[in-house]
Structure 1
Amino acid sequence: MFGWMVHPLAAFALMFWASVIFGRRGREWQAVALAAGVVVGLAALGADWVVHPAAGMLLGFFGSRAFHRWRERWPALLAGLVAGAFFMALGAGWLIFPLAVMGMIWLFTVAFTWSSEKNAAPLGAPPSVSALPEQGGGFPLGSFGSREEKVAAKAARREARRQAKARLETPPPAPAPAAPDLFTSYLRDERLPGEARAQLAALNLRTREALAYLDSLGQSGSEAAYLARAVRDEYAPTAVQAYLKLPPTLAGTAPLQDGKTGRDLLREQLDLLLNAVQDILNTTLQAGGQELLTHQRFLEDRFRKARRDLEV
């Protein structure tokens, strides 16, 4: 019905989708549902390619909003999850794997938070001031023989009470501020293009998965683990920082090399890092799969022999 017009309309729908989920309207489930409905509708009309970049942006949306004050934003997150189901049904089936990994990380984080809150020891009532003098070095009245000693004991009790009261009224020292997480800050940094934040979200998930898998294989000190950590802690932040140094009005328009803008170069560099981490995962998967293949050969030999014995 719309013919070729559905494709430019899909491009505008993609921009609308990015402006909603990465802007202030991303906290409202109605706006998220409307933007997703436009994308899904145009994909159903023929622009089926649009669900793939929309699904990548959705990963960035979850990465930036699901792990921080999610109780206030759960309607918008639920709307995004429903949108992801429609994207997968329309062709973006690859979305299920990063969503599953992100969901497991989110469940672990929530469970750990709830467990910490539930098992936190309640603050007990402060000790009675009247009980402190003897613990601070005083003695019960009556254990002294002379009047002077009793007066000295009373003075010691008063001083102990004063010191105990001062300790109770002194506020605890403020905790040291936590070190900022570069990935989390970049995922929420609106100076970055939407596709770059989506790439960072995918890179965050892949590097975490690669490091966890290498650690389970006892290869946390291997060259592959070093490379995965370098991608996350050095290479990706350096690329983003170099992009942010460009003038904002020219970063996406002025060509820097071979007609490519700063935005194009950032996208290419993040793609290279994503491919590098994926190669690490593929290599470690082959190494970790050898044990499974060995067990398969053992089972085949074992039951082939049992079948020959039964035939005899």
Structure 2
Amino acid sequence: MITHEPNIRYTADNTRYENMQYSRCGNSGLLLSKLSLGLWQNFGAVDSLSNAQELLFTAFDAGITHFDLANNYGPPYGSAESTFGNVLKQYLHSYRDELIISSKAGYDMWPGPYGVGGSRKYLISSCDQSLQRTGLEYFDIFYHHCMDQETPLEETMQALDYLVRSGKALYVGLSNYQPEQTAKAIKILDDLGTPLLIHQPRYNIFDRWIEDSLTDVLLNEGVGSIVFSPLAQGLLTDKYLQGIPEGSRASRPELIYLNDSDITASKMEKIAQLNDLAKSREQTLAQMAIAWTLNNKAVTTCLIGASKKEQILDSVKALNNLSFSEDELTQINAISNS
């Protein structure tokens, strides 16, 4: 069980804004750090509180201001929000107005018919619970986490609009919505007077589905994006170049989103080629993969995950080289499509 460690003291680094880059989110007035920290893994009740604290402190000291949660992050569900709320209350409360804190609802959260989906009942109840767990008065961004085919889109968007009008969220976002659904949601929210701020899709060198219409929708409508899984669950790092290391995600059968069947000989060859290209850019493969996502003009910020502070610091170094030559982009395309 996670417990508070009373002897830790924290004062944010005075130079935290000197090296981080910030981008305007769509047509809004909001600037987001080029990198955002996701709390999907390593912040649950089963994880180390001291490590979670160190990750949050390291990110904020590096100028990362956006921290991304969801109601079902843990494990168990809700515990990542509780962990973040603990750290916020003990150490970061004086910096609240320097932080962008987001959460989401959409996937299953509690038993019964009202603990999943896109209904007004679920979204508002879940937001209230998330606010209680984090100790916040409001979220900077509240997302619908996934499309619900059983609920009218109008009802879901009206619920998001209500969350803003009731002061429970400043902005609203969508995650995992397809292009056509996104365009319809944007129109409904515009009519309601609560513009869509941001979309959170999966995007990396191996998974480019957003390039098929979604990026066009976002750019045309002035909506920002925060892309997750830039490293393809660790595949776009040098971790697997010599096989599957013990303790890695691919070695843990309980993590069903990545397993040894994903690490084929063909995929390993692609990773090795990308790694060579990264070296020629004087970057690690992870740094190049992050920089590549930010090269897409529809992408506002890249959502990173970390289990140790060194990974955050390594990711921040990606910002030292965000430019790609046409030849480099051509090589990356050829490798990923081979």
Q: Scaled by the length of structure 2, what TM-score is found?
A: 0.29
Structure with more contact order per residue of length (Cα contacts < 8 Å, sep ≥ 6)? 2
* Structure whose residues are more often strand by fraction: 2
* Structure whose residues are more often helix by fraction: 1
Q: Please say which structure displays the higher CA radius of gyration.
A: 1
Q: Scaled by the length of structure 1, what TM-score is found?
A: 0.31
